[in-house]
């Protein structure tokens, strides 16, 4: 029997006041957030041991971890590269997010704030680049889905967004390394109809257990893509500048978790 913390699904979908319920010990996403503290995208891309997936059982493959947001691979993905993006603090429904946690924009000109609304486009581009490296973003298909409450198919009662890549039919992942890949033209995915359309629209369908060996490679590719996207999106020049943006008001945030 492993001594590692286990991720056990929580069942309550009731919202609670922020001050009373910033952390739920029975929530698997809260456990992941507490286990993996904030770390800059540059350090994460360099293979930091702080993001070791084996800190938890089952392993958790974290691709992004900031003061407000954490993103990790779904353990039962709909497609390869299915990612969950969640607030670090326990919020049941999207309407429970505070303005700071869900803000679309920052009052500053750099990456000092890492709210879901600000970082979700960066993560979406990074995930798609890692999963389909030879397809330009403008030609790639993917879902971003968010559910609130059991009647809306929310399984884990902690706000989370699904990023679900939708590669072309019979798509074959190119071999690594991908730095010298040429972009390819694939026939566009057909517009689904009927029941299949509904399943894709709401992020439903057949799920498989996450392949840990493939996940270890894929999450590293995602971190590298986030590093590159970060530099472009926020015009950061190096580790010092990025690390500064991951500090809280009381000093360094690296390796810590604030509730």
> What's the token pair of residue 91?
């919020």
SS3 letters across the chain: CCCCCECCCCCCCCCCCHHHCCCCCCCHHHHHHHHCCCECHHHHHCCCHHHCHHHCECCCCEEEECCCEEEEECCCCCCCCCEEEEECCCCCCHHHCCHHHHCCCCCCCCCCCCCHHHHHHHHHHHHHHHHCCCCCHHHCCEEEEECCCHHHCCCCCCCCEEEEECCCCCCCCCCCCCCCCCCCCCCCCCCCCHHHHHHHHCCCCCCCCCCHHHHHHHHHHHHHHHHHHHHHHHCCCCHHHHHHHCCECCECCCCCCCC
> What's the token pair of residue 82?
């299915």
The residues facing 145 across adjacent strands are 162
Of 123, 132, 87, 74, nearest to 223 by C-alpha is 123
Please tell me which residue in 82, 160, 162, 249 is annotated as part of the active site: 160
Is 160 known to be catalytic? yes
Q: Is the peptide bond before 226 cis (omega within 30 degrees of 0)?
A: no
The set of catalytic residues is 160
């Amino acid at each position: 029997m492993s001594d590692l913390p286990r991720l056990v699904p929580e069942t309550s979908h009731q919202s609670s006041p922020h001050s009373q319920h910033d952390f739920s010990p029975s929530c698997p996403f809260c456990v992941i957030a507490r286990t993996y503290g904030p770390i800059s995208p540059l350090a994460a891309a360099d293979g930091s041991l702080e993001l070791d997936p084996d800190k938890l059982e089952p392993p958790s493959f974290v691709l992004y971890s900031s003061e407000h947001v954490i993103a990790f691979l779904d353990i039962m993905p709909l497609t390869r590269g299915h990612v969950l993006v969640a607030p670090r603090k326990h919020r049941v429904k999207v309407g429970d997010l505070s303005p700071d946690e869900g803000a679309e924009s920052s009052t500053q000109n750099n990456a000092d704030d890492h709210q879901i609304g600000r970082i979700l486009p960066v993560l979406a581009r990074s995930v798609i680049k890692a999963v389909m490296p030879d397809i330009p973003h403008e030609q790639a298909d993917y879902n971003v889905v968010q559910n609130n409450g059991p009647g809306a198919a929310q399984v884990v009662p902690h706000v989370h967004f699904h990023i679900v890549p939708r590669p072309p039919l019979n798509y074959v992942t190119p071999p690594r390394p991908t730095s010298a890949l040429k972009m390819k033209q694939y026939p566009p995915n057909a517009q689904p109809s009927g029941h299949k359309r509904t399943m894709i629209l709401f992020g439903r369908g057949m799920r498989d257990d996450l392949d840990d060996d493939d996940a270890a490679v894929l999450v590293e590719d995602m971190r590298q893509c986030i590093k590159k996207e970060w530099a472009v999106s926020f015009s950061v020049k190096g580790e010092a500048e990025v690390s500064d943006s991951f500090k809280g008001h009381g000093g360094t945030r690296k390796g810590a978790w604030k509730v």
